[in-house]
Amino acid sequence: MERDTKAASIENRTFGMMSRRQLAGLSVMLPALAAALANGSVAAGIGNRTAISRAAMAQDVPQGGELTVAYNNPVGDTLNQHRSSSTSSRMISRHVLENLTWVDPANGSVNPWLAESWEISEDGLEYVFHLKQGVMFHDGTPFNAEAVKANFDNTMDPEARPGFTYGAMGASAYAGTEVVDEFTVKVTFISPHAAFLLFLSDGGTGIDSPTAMAEAGEDYGRTTLVGSGPFKFVEWIQGSHVTLERNPDYTGGPAAFGFTGPTPLDRLIYRDVPEANIRLQSVLADEAQLASIIPPNVPEVQGQDNVRVIATPKAGTTRMYLFNMNSPKLSDMAVRKAINMVVDKEAMLMLPGWAGFGRPGIACLPSNMVPNGDLSSVEQYDIPYDLEGARALLDEAGWVLNGDIREKDGVQLIFDMSVMQSDVDAGVIEPIDGFLREAGMQLNIKAGDINYWIDSFSNGDYEMTLMSDSGYVAVGMVQEFFRSGEPFATTGLANAEIDDLIDKAIGAPTIEEQWEYLMPCIGLIMQEVVGVMGWESDNLDVASNKLQQLAYNEIGFPWFYGAYLEQ
Whose CA is closest to 546, among 528, 520, 566, 516?
A: 566
Taken in order 449, 451, 457, 463, is the CA torsion positive or negative? Answer: negative
Crossing angle of helices 387-396/333-342, nearest 10°? 160
Rounded distance between C-alpha atoms, residue 365 and residue 315, angstroms: 9
Rounded distance between C-alpha atoms, residue 160 and residue 172, angstroms: 14
Q: What is the 3-state secondary structure (H, E, C) of 209-278?
A: CHHHHHHHHHHECCCECCCCCCEEEEEEECCCEEEEEECCCCCCCCHHHCCCCCCCCCEEEEEECCCHHH
| C-alpha of 224 from chain center | 24
Q: What is the 3-state secondary structure (H, E, C) of 335-368?
A: HHHHHHHHCCHHHHCCCCCCCCCCEECCCCCCHH
Rounded distance between C-alpha atoms, residue 131 and residue 287, angstroms: 41
Domains annotated for the chain, with CATH where assigned, are 3-30+63-314+539-565 (3.40.190.10), 319-536 (3.10.105.10)
* pLDDT over 70 percentage in the chain: 90
Count of CA atoms in the C-beta half-sphere (13 A) of 280 = 18
What's the pLDDT at 59? 59
- For 150, phi then psi, to 5°, come to -60, -40
Rounded distance between C-alpha atoms, residue 475 and residue 365, angstroms: 10
Residue type, 564: Y
3-class state of residue 323 by DSSP? strand
| C-alpha of 192 from chain center | 24
CB atoms within 10 A of CB 57: 24
3-class state of residue 518 by DSSP? helix
Whose CA is closest to 339, among 496, 464, 250?
A: 464
What's the pLDDT at 314? 85
Rounded distance between C-alpha atoms, residue 416 and residue 287, angstroms: 39
Q: What are the respective helix, strand and coil percentages of the chain, to the nearest 5?
A: 30, 25, 45
How far are the Cα atoms of 38, 49, 52, 65 from residue 57, in angstroms, in the given order?
12, 18, 8, 16
Whose CA is closest to 184, among 233, 287, 237, 114?
A: 114
Count of CA atoms in the C-beta half-sphere (13 A) of 402 = 11
- For 66, phi then psi, to 5°, come to -115, 115
Q: Are 413 and 406 in contact (CB under 8 A)?
A: yes
Rg of the chain taking only CA atoms, in angstroms? 23
What's the pLDDT at 270? 98
* DSSP per-residue codes, 32-51: B-TTTS-SS---BTTTB---
Query: What is the largest distance, in Å, between two alpha-carbon atoms of the chain?
Result: 74
- For 546, phi then psi, to 5°, come to -70, -25
Residue type, 352: P
What's the pLDDT at 109? 86
Q: Are 474 and 514 in contact (CB under 8 A)?
A: yes
pTM for the structure as a whole: 0.76
What's the pLDDT at 548? 95
End-to-end CA distance of the chain: 36
3-class state of residue 489 by DSSP? coil
Q: Are 368 and 536 in contact (CB under 8 A)?
A: yes
How far are the Cα atoms of 152, 182, 188, 524 from residue 178, in angstroms, in the given order?
10, 11, 8, 39
Whose CA is closest to 248, among 230, 235, 234?
A: 230
What's the pLDDT at 566? 94
Residue type, 74: P
What's the pLDDT at 30? 35
What value, to the nearest 5°, has the Cα angle with vertex 433 and ends 429 and 435? 115
What's the pLDDT at 237? 96
Q: Which residues contact 259 (CB under 8 A, 6 or more apart)?
A: 54, 55, 57, 58, 253, 562
Enumerate the β-bridge partners of residue 286.
none
The residues of the chain scoring below 50 in pLDDT are 1-57
What's the pLDDT at 87? 86
Interval 26-75: pLDDT, tens:
222 333 333 333 322 233 222 222 233 444 445 589 999 999 999 988 89
Q: Are 561 and 513 in contact (CB under 8 A)?
A: no
- For 469, phi then psi, to 5°, come to -145, 160
